[in-house]
Structure 1
Amino acid sequence: MTLGKTSIILADDHAIVRRGVRALLEYEPDFHIVAEATDGVEALSLIERLKPDVVVTDLCMPAMSGIELMRALKSRGSEVRTIVLTMCGDGPYVASALEAGAFGYILKEAGVEHLVSAIREARAGRRYFSPPISDGTPFTSG
């Protein structure tokens, strides 16, 4: 983990989504996007090499899903905090993400302020879920 700016890796198989998220997050003075990955395998390699504070990942990606990525990180004792950014708001997806170690779960339909809050809360060791999954109130993991 770094001090100062929050280092972030974006993992999504859609280039337009990664570029859009990058463009939105680069407005935040305390964020630094250090890399982008097109799937979980690439993300895992980048995370191990760059040791970011936070990874923002989609659930459905080729080669290794976001859930599989989080499980691999958890099994390796990684300290990176993972935020899921997805279209899937169904309970089983949320439960699987939590079980795999997600610190945040943001629906792609949510406003950018929810993703920004989720990243800041994850960096501080707290979980964050966008509406309608929760009312948006951050809570401490545990």
Structure 2
Amino acid sequence: MINVVLVDDHELVRTGFRMILQQQPDIRVGGEAGSAEEGLHLIRSLAPDIALVDVHMPGMSGIELTERVCRSKMSTHVVIVTVVDDARFPKRLLDAGALGYLTKGCSADELVSAVRQVAGGRRYLAPAVAQQLALATLDGSASPFDVLSSRELEVGYLCPSPDNIK
């Protein structure tokens, strides 16, 4: 049985994930959290196999949660599920220790497949993100996201430059 914890500040998103995952005979949702702080507490107390984590939440970000789980050498594998599909951002999260990265536009089948794959100790990347990462590696372009701290990444995403606002 694959034990999963859901960490997302949107209740509707958590409900959707739970409904999808609970239909699987080999997956059990053991807890839900509306913030990264609550999620970290759940992960520490329940020691799930998988934590499905949103990146952008009030307070502590999913990036920081991922780093804390990995630094603490917990057995829980983090799968990021977010709206951001720019390959430079997922690379930073994978470097922080996430084993999976999905966008919220993925299908139910892809979500289940990613949970199973990561529970088996393998990485999972949304196909579009994997392609972007591969192409970025081929052309040798370094990402400006690589040098940013967790907080800098979070602030940069939440406060876009005026040039990007229409």
TM-score of the two chains, using structure 1 as the length reference: 0.89
One-letter code aligned to 1:48: R
Which among 59, 64, 67 is matched to residue 63 of structure 1?
59
Residue 35 of structure 1 deviates from its aligned partner by: 0.3
Asked if 1:104 is matched to 2:100, the reply is yes
Q: CA deviation at 1:45?
A: 0.4
Counterpart in the other structure of 2:34: 38
Q: Deviations over 1:82-113 (max 9, x none)?
A: 10111001123201110111111011111111
Give 1 or 2: higher strand fraction: 1
Partner residue in 2 for 1:78: 74
Aligned residues: 131
Deviations 1:16-72 (A, max 9, x none): 000011011111110000000111110000100011000000010111111100001
Paired position in structure 2 for 1:120: 116
Identity %: 37
Shift of 1:130: 1.4
- Which aligned segments of 4 or more residues in structure 1 are displaced greater than 2 angstroms? none
What residue is the counterpart of 2:137 in the other structure? none
Name the structure 2 match of 1:29.
25
Gaps of 5+ in 2: 132-166
SS at match of 2:84: coil
Structure with higher Rg: it is: 2
- Aligned with 2:129: secondary structure? coil
